Structure 1
Amino acid sequence: MGGRWRAVLAGAAALGALAGCTNAPPPPLVTTEVARTRTSAEPDVGEAVVGVDSVLGGYNPHKLADQSTVTTALAQAVLPSVFRPGADGTPRLDRTLMVSAEVTSAEPYTVDYRLRPEAAWSDSAPIAAEDFVYLWEQLREAPGALDGAGYRLISNISAREAGRVVEVTFAEPYPGWRSLFSGLLPAHLLKDIPGGWANALRENYPVSGGPFAVRTLDRDRGEIVLERNDRYWEAPAALDRIVLRRADLTGTTGALRTGHSQLALTALSAQGLAAVTALEPDVTTTQVPRPAVATVLLRPVGTAMADQRVRTAIGALLDRRALIAAGTGGGPASAAVADAQVLAPSAPGYRATLPAGRFAAVDQAGADALLTEAGFTRVNGSWALGQTPLNLVIAAPAGREPYLAMARELQRQLSVGGVQSQLLTPPGDRLYAELLAAPDPDEEPTTEVHLVVAPQPAGGDPATLPAVRFGCAPADADSGTPAVANPGAYCDQATQPTLDAALTGSTPLADALAALEPELWSRTVAIPLYQEVDTLVVRREMTGVSAGTPFAGPFAGAPGWRRAGG
């Protein structure tokens, strides 16, 4: 973990210390009857209760719309993966699932995967080649896919030995192949479900291929119960069950204080961090960077936003610090400011690339000059092109309060700068799969979205990430024109060769970033704000709990969690 991120964590700890020294009274102990009194029964040492902010789905780890703390937790505990992040963040073969995975040919570039013969889903169906094929077929084309760029390089998948040996052939060399086939999904149950990929893991997990299985998932009660998967072929988990329970700040701190919860994994404001810190020394707290960067996307769509001068003017009207404050509430994430276009602050090799002075303050004069140059004039205090007002559509995913708060602040800032706007808050599925997807030439255009306040992916193979965030899809065979393949609607033939070179390894990532970062900042298509950060709070009776390997999170180690009695 880099020195910058150590400074981030130190800053978060200092924030907690400062907040804990105020004269404000402690928060109410609890708000629910179950947490108001300490139970007289002996503790169930086979169960651990984890307080979380929300259990709302969907739960597909491969969809941008579904990314959340709970989705990551469930994927780590329930789904099999070929590789998992090691302690230094680099992929390590998961030998609970795999015998081997290796490049067997350079031309064509081929990787052979050999699965353990006993690896099976909890309904006894083998984990096999069809699960690899299913993921490949969905992610290479599905709108709103989290990690499609690497899968689009695969040209064929074949199987041997009853599907236990999987041969994957790539159209080009792909050094990042170890990032593929994490979070395998049960093809035999999902490939024919009504609604297809859009409904995969929308409501629940039908089976498990990991040490835990989902027993119940009750959104109304705000509770998910994981139980030890008795059909897991490896060493069994130490705990019988893990319960994820939704709670607000008061409920979380009260349950931790009384022992009704043993852990919490939650995004905290400054007030929340102070409340949790007040529980010490009965708990320990650790900051857990998430694989997501809160970002404002300035989509080059429509007449106005296709003009770089207009996008740059919009960027000049923004108060970046106020947006970060609105999203983080001054909590630990506020120390993880993202000053690079591609890598997140906690990623190895991260360094700030934000040009000096850019977005340091609102530049109304600069915005006025650029809009005037682009042909706009002030009409009754608002910018217009002729008699048509500059009216932009802002979108943020419903149910994601930090992003809704930032979107409202963004709308306020644009209004102050003389730019009219309207705010849409569609469900995540509709936002990514419809509103931000590449337009279908055979269908009527949907609502045009100009600005998006949403999380952008930050995990996986770092050399693949530029293509995921800013790349084009391969050219259509009929038109020969590359298609937009990212929510930001950015597809530029000037930068695409550099993205492709990083993806296929022909250019080292550091060299590619040196070329890409200044170009992307100058285009004003994305303004990163901060990396999401959860706080892991653990009571003293729990052992084996840690922040986990980079971007995997605490649930990667859940099979080893133990709870002491008394």
Structure 2
Amino acid sequence: MGAFFGDGGRADARVSWRRRGVFLATPLLAVMLAACQANPGDAPTVEQVDSTAESAPPTAPPDKDDLQLHVGIGSFTGNLNPHLTGNVSATVMGIADLTLPSTHNLRDGAWEMNSDLLLSVTPNDPQTPIKVTYQLNTSAQWSDGTPVNVSDFRYLRQQIVQNPSTAEAASYELIKSIEPVSGGKIDVTFSQPFAGWQSLFRHLLPSHIYGAENQPFATMMDGNLAASAGAYAVTSIDEGRGRIELRRNDRFWGDTPAATDRLIFDRIPDLPTGMQMLRTGQIEMMVSEPSDISTIALESIPGVQYRAIERHVDLSFLLNTHSSTMAMADYRARIMQALNPDRIAQIATESTHTVRPANPPIEAAAVRGAATESTNEQTNDPARALGSLSGDGAVVIGAPSDDDRAVAAARVAADQLNSAGITTRVVTKDEAELFAKDIPEGTVDAVVSWQKTPESSTDYFNQFYCSPKQGGTSTEGADAERNSLIPLSGNITGYCSEELNLGLLDTIEGKTAFAAQQDKLNERIAQANVVVPLVRDTQVVATGPAIEGAAPALEQWAADPLSGVMVSAPDWKKLNLDESSESLEGDQ
């Protein structure tokens, strides 16, 4: 384990906390001195916002005893772009919360203005505005000293609508203009009333760096995060070792600067390894997938607190109607009828206790034995379907290669389809390539991936809306409706329906209350036979005695629907446990 985690001093459980502190502080001090000697050039030029940025003075560093915390994580990816479809792991979303600024944050189910970034936000209508004015905090800046400004808003909008692998294209397509106004204000105008306006401009990116580099959006944050405007900044990503390191951002101007100098995330291969590292103090926290014995195992370790957190993220089996085969309703129904999703979920999670998510009830009608959709927009022709299979005559299921649970689920689904006489194979791909190329081009017929649980009108809008094709369509007959609509990035299934579109627009424009429309939306999606939710993501968080949060009890720590307890990381502190740790280590 010492070689895997690259820290021989931490691998030896017998090393005392005093000696370990000396071992770690020496190279850290060298890094800090080197940083002090650096002589960076002028900040890059950015678009003028008609205001003067006020440089935030560096905040006081934490005490020497609070230098670093180690967190074990169950899954790892080096691509930290939170705007990519499927890239919604707790680590990715947590690091985004800690490094990238947002106009609003979701707290206890309600959107709150981020008072660190904004002084005020003024919609012309609180519910469904056409225009929103944001006034930036003039102290808001990136870690290289560049002010956060209108260019960052424009850059994010541009990249999301132009790239095929982004998750929220439908929402950002509604933005008509983003303009700077005197006094540090930004006016955002929509093409129509928009109920989901508070969900926009989350995790802004440093446009002065990424825009200038002109790298592909899907891969530009793979192994790299160029600058921070949060409490922490990413300093290194080592995919080979499964390690991500964050350092306290001394330029952060907000109310809650980081209480710890460094956060180090290490991939833990299994629960027994994580438990032993908690016992010996090699890690102060562990965030992992649950198992049948997680609770029994963790409650046996003295001084360890644990809790389960259900994230609002689902692992789903989705059919890709960009594929000519899956564009046919009859064939989609045949595929779904051959699946046993309960068995897939249990094998993927290695737990017989796994219960598939029941809400929202968008599970394919064919899976639950209900009547399937009318086929007014697609041709029913079994012979055509059988003759249009992808590749070498097989149904092709795609899964991200770095996601063990998604790959396991895809393989079990393929086994079930093969057993039903439907030749099927699985391909594992880099996630960026899978969503940017294979799905839009229809080279995979299905995909197993994590997606945000659709819970609001905006979620449904981003995952199922299709844009009307400009200039209409000359297609006649059964395929006319489908060919008149274009699925946007974020709509993984590619499924389009005029009826569904109208329902989505009614809720997003505020014409119909979402609660009144949701059942109809759920039923229409289920009738389409395009998605089966398999697993609602649940995480087990365990903390050792050497870490302290904003509250004494772990159950009282703040938790975000996507990033879990990672959102509370600026409050985490390392306790001085010299005496008790030596005693504990001596008992091992």
Could you tell me the TM-score, scaled by structure 1's length?
0.81
Does the aligned pair in 1 maintain the 2:275–2:298 contact within 8 Å? yes
Shift in CA distance, 387/535, structure 1 to aligned 2, threshold 3 Å:
closer
Q: Are 2:94 and 1:100 equivalent residues in the alignment?
A: no
For residue 175 of structure 2, what is the amino acid of its counterpart? Answer: I
Q: Are 2:215 and 1:207 equivalent residues in the alignment?
A: no
250-259 vs 396-405, which moves further: 250-259
Q: Are 2:460 and 1:452 equivalent residues in the alignment?
A: no
Q: Are 2:103 and 1:82 equivalent residues in the alignment?
A: yes
Corresponding residue for 2:357?
338
Q: Are 2:241 and 1:221 equivalent residues in the alignment?
A: yes
Corresponding residue for 2:250?
230
Shift, 1:375, TM fit:
4.1
Shift in CA distance, 386/152, structure 1 to aligned 2, threshold 3 Å:
closer
Identity %: 26
For residue 528 of structure 1, what is the amino acid of its counterpart? Answer: P
Q: Are 2:341 and 1:320 equivalent residues in the alignment?
A: yes
Shift in CA distance, 302/131, structure 1 to aligned 2, threshold 3 Å:
closer
Query: What are the residue-to-residue correspondences of 1:31-430 with 2, within 5 Å?
Result: 34-42=10-18, 44-86=65-107, 88-104=108-124, 109-161=130-182, 164-235=184-255, 236-249=257-270, 250-279=272-301, 281-330=302-351, 334-335=354-355, 337-340=356-359, 343=360, 352=361, 359=367, 375=382, 391-430=394-433
Shift, 1:306, TM fit:
2.4
Corresponding residue for 1:433?
436
Shift, 1:30, TM fit:
12
Shift in CA distance, 172/375, structure 1 to aligned 2, threshold 3 Å:
closer
For 2:277 and 2:169, the matched residues in 1 are separated by 40
For residue 560 of structure 1, what is the amino acid of its counterpart? Answer: D
1:157-181 superposed Cα distances (whole Å, 9 cap, x missing partner) = 100237x211000000112111101
For 1:31 and 1:207, the matched residues in 2 are separated by 28
- SS at structure 1 position matched to 2:343: helix
Shift, 1:491, TM fit:
1.2
Shift, 1:56, TM fit:
2.3
Shift, 1:241, TM fit:
1.4
For residue 406 of structure 1, what is the amino acid of its counterpart? Answer: A
- SS at structure 1 position matched to 2:408: helix
Corresponding residue for 1:564?
575
Corresponding residue for 1:550?
561
263-272 vs 315-324, which moves further: 263-272
Shift, 1:284, TM fit:
1.4
Shift in CA distance, 92/495, structure 1 to aligned 2, threshold 3 Å:
same
For 1:430 and 1:476, the matched residues in 2 are separated by 28
Does the aligned pair in 2 maintain the 1:292–1:531 contact within 8 Å? yes
Corresponding residue for 1:472?
466
- SS at structure 2 position matched to 1:191: helix
213-222 vs 389-398, which moves further: 389-398
Shift in CA distance, 471/261, structure 1 to aligned 2, threshold 3 Å:
same
Shift, 1:416, TM fit:
0.8
Does the aligned pair in 2 maintain the 1:456–1:469 contact within 8 Å? no
For residue 450 of structure 1, what is the amino acid of its counterpart? Answer: D
Shift, 1:114, TM fit:
0.5
Corresponding residue for 2:585?
none
Shift in CA distance, 37/304, structure 1 to aligned 2, threshold 3 Å:
same
Does the aligned pair in 1 maintain the 2:322–2:493 contact within 8 Å? no
Shift, 1:71, TM fit:
0.8
Does the aligned pair in 2 maintain the 1:108–1:171 contact within 8 Å? no
Does the aligned pair in 1 maintain the 2:465–2:504 contact within 8 Å? yes
Shift, 1:38, TM fit:
3.4
Shift, 1:259, TM fit:
1.1
Shift in CA distance, 166/390, structure 1 to aligned 2, threshold 3 Å:
same
For residue 411 of structure 1, what is the amino acid of its counterpart? Answer: A
- SS at structure 2 position matched to 1:168: strand
For 1:395 and 1:385, the matched residues in 2 are separated by 20
Work out the number of aligned pairs and report it.
Answer: 500
Shift, 1:298, TM fit:
1.8
For residue 514 of structure 1, what is the amino acid of its counterpart? Answer: D
| Runs of 5+ consecutive residues of structure 2 not aligned to the other structure | 22-64, 372-379, 474-482, 578-588
Corresponding residue for 1:24?
none
Shift in CA distance, 558/174, structure 1 to aligned 2, threshold 3 Å:
same
Could you tell me the TM-score, scaled by structure 2's length?
0.79
Shift, 1:426, TM fit:
1.1
Shift, 1:220, TM fit:
2.0
For 1:408 and 1:529, the matched residues in 2 are separated by 14
For 2:407 and 2:219, the matched residues in 1 are separated by 25
- SS at structure 1 position matched to 2:71: strand
Corresponding residue for 2:534?
529
For residue 245 of structure 2, what is the amino acid of its counterpart? Answer: V
Shift in CA distance, 129/301, structure 1 to aligned 2, threshold 3 Å:
closer
For residue 391 of structure 1, what is the amino acid of its counterpart? Answer: A
For 2:193 and 2:157, the matched residues in 1 are separated by 17
Query: What are the residue-to-residue correspondences of 1:441-520 with 2, within 5 Å?
Result: 446=441, 448-458=443-453, 462-476=456-470, 481-485=484-488, 486-520=491-525
1:167-217 superposed Cα distances (whole Å, 9 cap, x missing partner) = 000000112111101101001001122433233312211111001111222
Does the aligned pair in 2 maintain the 1:299–1:305 contact within 8 Å? yes
For 1:477 and 1:128, the matched residues in 2 are separated by 36
Shift, 1:554, TM fit:
1.2
For 1:565 and 1:153, the matched residues in 2 are separated by 52
For residue 564 of structure 2, what is the amino acid of its counterpart? Answer: G
Shift, 1:354, TM fit:
5.6
For 2:388 and 2:278, the matched residues in 1 are separated by 60
User: What value does the CA root-mean-square deviation take over the aligned residues?
Assistant: 3.1
1:115-143 superposed Cα distances (whole Å, 9 cap, x missing partner) = 10111001000001111011111112321
For 1:405 and 1:241, the matched residues in 2 are separated by 34
Corresponding residue for 1:540?
545
- SS at structure 1 position matched to 2:499: coil
Shift, 1:257, TM fit:
1.0
For 2:389 and 2:342, the matched residues in 1 are separated by 33
For 1:420 and 1:387, the matched residues in 2 are separated by 9
Shift, 1:248, TM fit:
1.2
Does the aligned pair in 2 maintain the 1:298–1:450 contact within 8 Å? yes
Shift, 1:54, TM fit:
3.7
Shift in CA distance, 410/477, structure 1 to aligned 2, threshold 3 Å:
same
For 2:415 and 2:172, the matched residues in 1 are separated by 40
For 1:193 and 1:161, the matched residues in 2 are separated by 29
Does the aligned pair in 1 maintain the 2:155–2:211 contact within 8 Å? yes
